[in-house]
Amino acid sequence: MNSITYDSVRKLFLLQTARMSYAFTISSNGKLVHVYWGAKVPDSGCFDGMLAGLQADTAVGGVNAGSRPYEYRTQDPFVYGDIALLPIFADGVRNARLVYDHHDISEHALVVSLRDEHYALAVDLHYDLFGDLDLISRHAVIRNNGDTAVTLDVIRSATVNLPPRQDYRITHFAGNWGAELGRNQCMLTQAQFLLENHRGTCAAHQQQPFIALDPRGESTQNCGEVFFAALCWSGNFKLCVEKSYYGDVSISAGVNDFDCQVDLPAAGTFTTPALAIGFSDTGFDRISEILYDWQFDWISPRPKAHDVRPIIYNSWYPYEFDVREDNILGLIDKAAHIGAELFVIDDGWMPKRVNEKAGLGDWVVDPQRFPRGFTPITEACHQRGLLFGLWVEPEMVNPDSDLYRAHPDWVIADPTRPRSEQRRQLVLDLSRDDIRDWAIDWLDKLIDDYQLDYLKWDMNRYLSENGPKRDLSIRFIQNLYAIWAHLNERHPKVLFENCASGGGRADFGMVPYADRINRSDNARPSDVMILHEGFTTLFVPKTAGGAGNISSDASTPLPFRIHLGMTGSMSVGINLLKATDETIEQLRQATAAFKLVRADLQNAYVYHLASATEKPYAVWQYLRRDRKTFGLFAFAHGMRHWDRNLPRFRMRGLIADAIYCAPDGSRHSGAELMNVGIAITLKGDYDSSFTFYKEG
């Protein structure tokens, strides 16, 4: 059971989860000082040998005074590490001196309130627990209790301290458009290791706002200690890991202070994004389990978090922009025949939207191509048992659009410079509340008028101008979240897809709002294996969308593409107008077979038994969370010899004394499967297999 306690004698806060403890104390001069983060300990008495030094007056100088592990680091005397808060007061003073004021403890939450020693500025540090999960969500609320405005120049969500005087290996995920979530590792030296983004509209293409550290770089997928932190933010962010000369290691993370300030008026408040921190004592696989449980049971959109995701067919693959009532009605029957469950009209349904040069921003149905609106499309889909969805890109506008001609002042631009275009589009200033409200109004109307079951929200360019407002990048993302929160509340049965030029917003800031997360625009099967390994390290597999994951890449065998499609939220990206009868029949059989095991695969943990980044093959185990069934995928890529050098693959996470039945009727104990393992045969390049085991 989790617990939060305060030991008034020791002045010690202790947060306990199933297998993790987190502790900090109040120093003799009122500063919050970190004590411990790691494997679970019995009680606060375990720290008695540490408290005297940590609770000593932090105002006392010395060459290493700044190395003290503050719980929320500010620019106190002799503190030179990355700070969490830098206010600028009306008299020009540019630092905070925060001391303990009071605290509140509830069943699953702790709030510790700090106050500045001189100014009417307060900071509430929030710590939230989630059942027995080995995870704590931290955020800060900065309150201006004075009569004059305060400018916030640096605003981090948290400072997190790790056990000191150890060598740590960093694991993070980086990439680019079409190459998202590549795993990178390096040892941390005496330095600041910085992950950051200042592209404005999204966070995750180049650097995922996530980091993991394991002592000495010795942890494996299923062995060793790993600490991790994930920032729940989809815009400009900064995540800094720092190792000092004295061996102190800390993480600070939050919104990026690049070209950014927040003016806090009298009685104003600012709430930072959350930083989720967690701990595994059994390697990197356990991190994935913790993050999956957090998504399934706590933060993914309710009540759809445990539902299966429908098989999607999208109009883009046969028609691109050339969508019309007649050709769409003809395509619906073909999609239903192969077993698709959701039909989506992608880009191209608005007036003048025959390419990417015009029409973006005019969110009405083109009366020439759809003279009866979408009503016949909706009816045809529902009559065939299909859900119906649309593509939108609410944050963007073409200069050649009625919206831009009516509101040229709505775009983000510098008044004396040419407006930069990318994909012939400009970015609407979503930091403005009137533009937020405009988007909510037309989105509500679109969903209601055409009985939409699904909405694919896309975003296809970064910011290149920041406009005159120094808080624009923050307000932009806050209003983005406000729109998504409204849509989920107003339309609880509608499925929402988060797409941002592929995986630009595959981050934990968007998880609470999106039922499907675009993994990447890249559908090349050999790349998808690597993309999916990165994605499923952090995010539950059924949210994995993207370019048709049963792709149109005819150079790769169709069974290989089908098996890859089964590993995420399946969508069919094959042009059904040109597909052979044999291909159509293979797709029909594949979707029928997938539906039999979909609930097991989409509510599962994923273990990468062999990685496509390390071997000429990939082997992934999908273990249902109750551990009663599992699916085993194998993919060959770059194999030059049939079945050469493939070991037996030992399963993970099974119930040792349970019996699991294989498709051939053979029965195996969990202990056998986890220790003796399973033999897999791959007959050369682009061979693949899927085997399903169930308890019984």
Q: Do 18 and 141 have their domain in common?
A: yes
Tens of pLDDT, residues 510-567: 999 999 999 999 999 999 999 999 999 999 999 998 765 676 677 899 999 999 999 9
Q: Which residues of 385-404 are buried (b: 16+ CB within 10 A; e: fewer)?
A: ebbbbbbbbbbbbbbbbbbb
Average pLDDT over residues 653-674: 98
What confidence tens digit (pLDDT) does each residue in 638-662 have? 887 665 678 999 999 999 999 999 9
Position 643 in a domain: no
Residue numbering of the annotated binding site for substrate: 177, 346-347, 423, 456-460, 499, 521
Per-residue pLDDT tens over the stretch 439-468: 999 999 999 999 999 999 999 999 999 888
Residues 14 and 50 in one domain: yes
β-pair partners for 122: 115, 143
Query: For the chain, what is the mean pLDDT?
Result: 95
Quick one: 55 and 84 in the same domain?
A: yes
State the average pLDDT over residues 342-360: 97
Residue 376, domain member (yes or no): yes
* DSSP-assigned states of every residue in 17-69: -SSEEEEEEE-TTS-EEEEEEEE--S-GGGGHHHHHHHHS-TTS--TTGGGS-
Angle, vertex CA 330, rays to CA 325 and CA 335, nearest 5: 115
pLDDT of residue 56: 86
Residue 257 and residue 389 in one domain: no
DSSP 252: E
Residue 539 lies in a domain: no
- In this model, does residue 62 exceed pLDDT 70? no
Q: Are residues 122 and 218 in the same domain?
A: yes
Residues 508 and 468 reside in one and the same domain: yes
- For residue 29, give the nearest of 11, 3, 48 by alpha carbon: 11
Q: Is residue 276 part of a domain?
A: yes
263 and 380 share a domain? no
387 plus 327 within the same structural domain: yes
Q: Which two tokens stand for residue 80?
A: 């030179």
Could you check whether the bond before residue 164 is cis, i.e. omega within 30 degrees of 0? no
Placement of tokens 């990939």 in the chain: 618
Summarize the annotated binding site as residue ranges: 177, 346-347, 423, 456-460, 499, 521
Please name the amino acid found at residue 469: K
Q: What is the mean pLDDT of residues 278-285?
A: 98
- The catalytic residue among 400, 444, 521, 685 is 521
Residue 617, domain member (yes or no): no
Regarding whether 164 and 68 lie in a shared domain, the answer is: yes
The answer to whether 231 touches 273, Cβ cutoff 8 Å, is: yes
State which amino acid sits at residue 641: H
pLDDT of residue 549: 60
Contacts 24+ apart (CB under 8 A), 656-663: 658/627, 658/628, 658/695, 659/695, 659/696, 660/630, 660/693, 660/694, 660/695, 660/696, 661/693, 661/694, 661/695, 661/696, 662/691, 662/693, 663/691, 663/692, 663/693
Rounded CA-CA distance 442/422 in Å is 24
Rounded to 5°, the CA angle 334-500-206 comes to 130
Query: By residue range, what is the domain housing residue 373?
Result: 312-518
Query: Residue 66 — very low, low, confident or very high, per pLDDT cuts 50/70/90?
Result: low
612-637: average pLDDT: 96
Contacts of residue 487, defined as CB under 8 A and 6 or more positions apart, other chains included, come to 440, 443, 444, 447, 455, 494, 496, 513
pTM of the model: 0.97
**Overall average pLDDT of the 360-384 stretch:** 97
263 and 376 fall within a common domain? no
Which amino acid makes up residue 586? Q
**Domain assignment present for 307:** no
pLDDT of residue 690: 98
Q: Are 323 and 369 in contact (CB under 8 A)?
A: yes
**Residues 164, 167, 171: CA angle, nearest 5 degrees:** 110
Give the tens place of pLDDT for each residue, 161-217: 999 989 999 999 999 999 999 999 999 999 999 999 999 999 999 999 999 999 999
Judge whether 600 counts as a catalytic residue. no
- Domain boundary, last residue among 299, 326, 354: 299
Q: How far apart are the two ends of the chain, measured CA to CA in Å?
A: 31
Query: In this structure, what CATH number is given to the domain that contains residue 335?
Result: 3.20.20.70
Alpha helices of 603-669 — where are they, by DSSP H? none
Residues 223 and 279 in one domain: yes
Phi and psi angles of residue 138, each rounded to the nearest 5 degrees, phi first: -115, 140
Across the range 296-305, mean pLDDT stands at: 94
488 domain-assigned: yes
| Domain-located, residue 565 | no
CATH number, residue 131: 2.70.98.60
Residue that finishes a domain, picked among 299, 333, 367: 299
The pLDDT score that the predictor gives to residue 60 is 60
521 tagged catalytic: yes
Alpha carbons 592 and 417: distance in angstroms, whole number: 56
638: left (phi over 0), alpha (psi -120 to 50) or beta: left
The total of structural domains in the chain comes to 2
Residue among 211, 186, 179, 216 nearest 196 (CA) = 211
Of 502, 518, 534, which one is at a domain's C-terminal end?
A: 518
- Whether 128 and 221 map to the same domain: the answer is yes
As a whole number of angstroms, the distance between CA 438 and CA 416 comes to: 27
Instruction: Catalytic residue, from 248, 285, 366, 458: name it.
Output: 458
Q: What is the pLDDT of residue 639?
A: 82
